[in-house]
Every structure is written in structure tokens, then in C-alpha cells.
Amino acid sequence: MSDKGMTIHLKIWRQARGARDGKFVDYTVNDVQNEMSFLEMLDILNEDLVRKGEEAIEFDNDCREGICGTCGMVVSGVAHGAHAGTTTCEIRMRSYRDGDTITVEPFRASTFPIIKDLVVDRSAFDRIQAKGGYVSTNVGSAPDGNALVIPKADADNAMDAASCIGCGACVAACPNGSASLFVSAKISQFSWLPQGDAERTRRALLMVDQMDSEGFGDCSNHGECEAVCPKEISIQNIARMRREFVKAACKG
């Protein structure tokens, strides 16, 4: 490789806003440096397109620090790319070689309709969250941190589930388009803690019902969701969600 950096070939999905169909378009990006992030490489491509008077490629991004998950896209067939436990924005171009060809496309799921190019509508997750992914009980001012004793193992499990960033990679990777990993994480994070008890039954029933009404598929334990999750959420949460739902249904 020369001092000028790498040459990277891209096949990127282009789809106009409101269009029903799109297509892959070939691009070449020159002078790609090893320390660049994947999104910085796309920035360079967009700057070049704008200079040529062409329309820039639309893609979601915000924090670019692996926190928000909005950067989600499918990179060479894998949601967020082939690196385990990372978001797309955390990919560094040193993972590629000069002359490599990379395919970039949006998350593929009927529940995530494409808005434009690589941008999809993930508002279905917001509607599921609004059904019970919160604690609304008025508890007054914040109590002393040691007033309510919670076993460390329970606190750790709750924190692990709460690390879900709702990026949607689990849905994109699942052959059934299931949102079970996302929903189970949002249910589990409260089921481990006493603060979630007041709305425990309502939460499980309403969130699962909303997930079904949005058109997400059923979980059949493929495990692809866990494999691509940038926060490595465990599929054990899905088993916990099912227990919570069955208990809630029996009480109802």
C-alpha cells in the first residue's frame, strides 16, 4: 500500500425517498487511511459526490462512539459488520486491505421500512417501548442508595439487559425478523429489580402484544440476534421474557 492510503470499492444500496425499489451502485474511495472509521470513509465518499454535483448517500449516525446505535447498517452481509460487540461506527478501516470490495445495505426487515438509501424507520421500537419499557410509579425524591438492598447478581443482570441500545441489528439478523432480543432486554432490566414490580404484569403483556401487532416474527432460537448485538445482550433474556409473559397471562 502506498503512502496515499488504500483504495476501497463499495457497492452501496441506493433508494430514493418514498420509492419501492432500489439498487446497488458501485463507488470507489481513494486515499483511505487505516485510522479512519467506517463512517469517516463514507463521509469522504459523500464529499466527493457533492463536489461532483451528485446526491450524497443518506445514512444514520449520531454519537459515533458506539453508544446510540443509530449507525446500524449491513456491512458485507452482517448487521453492524463482522466485528463482534461493535457498532458500525466503531469499525476501523485497518480491518480492510487495499482494493477490497465492501457491500453496504440497510437493515432488511419489513418492520423497518427503508426511508432512503441506508436509513430505515425503526419507530416500531419506540411504540413497543412506550407500552411499558419504563417505571412510572411516583416514588418521590431519590432514596438513599443503600436503602433498598439488591443482590449484586440481580443488579448485574439488570445492568446487562439495560445496555441494549435498540439499534435493531437483532431484527435485521434474525431469519424471522424477530424483535424478541430487544423486547426481552427491556422487560428483563426491570424484572430483576424491585422497582419494576408495580407494573410487572402490565409491562410483559403490553410490550409483547405490541411487538406482535407491529408484525415482528417469532423467535425460533437461531441465536443470530445475540451474534450481531453490539452490546452482546444474551438470549437468556428471551427465556426470561417468556416466563414473565406466561405468569402475567395466568394472572390476567
- The Cα–Cα gap between 115 and 73 comes to 13
Query: Binning pLDDT at 50, 70 and 90, where does residue 154 land?
Result: very high
> Interhelix angle for 200-213 vs 236-251, to 10°?
110
Question: For 25-53, how does the pLDDT look when each residue is reduced to its tens digit (9 = 90+)?
Answer: 999 999 999 999 999 999 999 999 999 99
- The Cα–Cα gap between 20 and 23 comes to 11
Q: Mean pLDDT throughout 49-77?
A: 97
Tell me if residue 79 falls in helix, strand or coil.
strand
Query: Binning pLDDT at 50, 70 and 90, where does residue 3 land?
Result: low
Domain housing 22: 6-115
Q: Is residue 183 part of a domain?
A: yes
| 51 and 165 co-located in one domain | no
Query: Binning pLDDT at 50, 70 and 90, where does residue 114 land?
Result: very high
Last residue of a domain, one of 64, 97, 115: 115
Give me 147's grid cell: 436503602
Confidence (pLDDT) at 149: 85
Helices (H) and strands (E) in the chain, counts: 8, 7
Residue 166 vs residues 21, 79, 156, 214: alpha-carbon distances, Å? 26, 13, 19, 15
| 23 and 110 co-located in one domain | yes
Count Cβ atoms below 10 Å from residue 136 Cβ, excluding itself: 8
Is residue 173 scored above 70 in pLDDT?
yes
Give me 200's grid cell: 410487572
| 27 and 78 co-located in one domain | yes
Strand duo 101-105 + 6-14: pairing: parallel
Q: Is residue 1 part of a domain?
A: no
Residues 104 and 13: beta-carbon distance below 8 Å: yes
Confidence (pLDDT) at 141: 76
Report the chain's terminal Cα–Cα distance, integer Å.
66
Q: Is residue 101 part of a domain?
A: yes
Last residue of a domain, one of 115, 145, 180: 115
Confidence (pLDDT) at 1: 43
| 24 and 82 co-located in one domain | yes
| 214 and 231 co-located in one domain | yes
Is residue 2 scored above 50 in pLDDT?
no
Confidence (pLDDT) at 252: 64
DSSP secondary structure string, 105-124?
E----TTS-EEETTEE--HH
- The Cα–Cα gap between 222 and 90 comes to 26
Of 144-153, 174-183, 242-251, least confident by mean pLDDT is 144-153
Q: Is residue 240 part of a domain?
A: yes
User: In total, how many domains does the chain have?
Assistant: 2
Q: Mean pLDDT throughout 174-196?
A: 96
